[in-house]
């Protein structure tokens, strides 16, 4: 089943769609979650929470803003980060680099996951070094903009501006 066929079924809350969605995406999402949440049981709990959020909030998915998998990945990453913060983890323990992230997803045997990750590493490498650093902190390590500002020892406004500019640069590369 393709993403385009799956979305309408999820919107109708078809039970088979949930099973299909879980089968298609659970391994990749669990791998991302478990790289942030090191405890396997907690990572499994986060995965369950992620699928509940996806199921309940599918109406907020907008296919013009990106692929379903990318939307789901953001929910998984944010939920894992929330779990870490709720347990008092320190951001310095979040050491997932973009290279690990791309490699992790590339290892998956599912074609749909490989399609989402093909070339990501090349696009990120095309960015300016400062952009790579900011994207790693904000998107792969889960730092807030304030935490990234502190880590990089630059003003918060500069982090916000550079983040916006870097994302725009990445969008430009992806549209080519």
Do 24 and 16 touch, CB atoms closer than 8 A? no
CA distance 114 to 125: 18
CA distance 163 to 131: 7
Q: What is the pLDDT of residue 144?
A: 83
Does position 26 have pLDDT exceeding 50, yes or no? yes
Q: What is the pLDDT of residue 143?
A: 79
Treating both helix axes as pointing N-terminal to C-terminal, what angle do 68-86 and 15-36 enclose, rounded to 10 degrees? 50
Question: In terms of pLDDT, which residue wins out, 15 or 56?
Answer: 56
User: Where does the pLDDT of residue 50 fall: very low under 50, low under 70, confident under 90, or very high at 90 and above?
Assistant: very high
CA distance 22 to 16: 10
Mean pLDDT for 55-69 is 87
Mean pLDDT for 52-79 is 89
Taking the model in full, what pTM does it have? 0.52
Q: What is the pLDDT of residue 161?
A: 92
Q: Where are the alpha helices (DSSP H) in 37-155?
A: 40-56, 68-86, 98-106, 111-117, 120-126, 129-135, 145-152
Mean pLDDT for 37-54 is 91
Q: 9-14: which pairs have CB atoms within 8 A and are 24 or more residues apart?
A: 10/55, 10/58, 11/58, 11/59, 13/55
CA distance 103 to 97: 10
Both tokens assigned to 109: 């045997």
For the stretch 68-103, pLDDT in tens is 888 998 999 999 888 888 745 444 344 455 555 554
């Amino acid at each position: 089943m393709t993403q385009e066929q799956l979305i309408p079924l999820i919107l109708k809350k078809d039970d088979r769609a949930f099973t299909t969605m879980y089968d298609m995406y659970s391994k990749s999402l669990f791998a991302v979650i478990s790289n942030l949440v090191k405890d396997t049981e907690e990572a499994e709990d986060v995965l369950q929470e992620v699928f509940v959020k996806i199921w309940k909030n599918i109406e907020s998915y907008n296919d013009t803003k990106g692929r379903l998998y990318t939307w789901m990945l953001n929910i998984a990453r944010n939920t894992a980060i929330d779990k870490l913060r709720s347990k008092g983890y320190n951001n310095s323990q979040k050491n997932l680099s973009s290279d690990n992230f791309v490699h992790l997803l590339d290892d998956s045997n599912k074609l749909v996951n490989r399609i989402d990750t093909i070339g990501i590493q090349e696009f990120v490498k095309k960015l300016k070094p400062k952009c790579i650093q900011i994207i790693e902190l904000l998107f792969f390590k889960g730092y807030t903009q304030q935490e990234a500002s502190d880590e990089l020892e630059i003003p918060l406004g500069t982090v916000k501006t550079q983040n916006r500019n870097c994302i725009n640069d990445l969008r430009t590369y992806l549209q080519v």
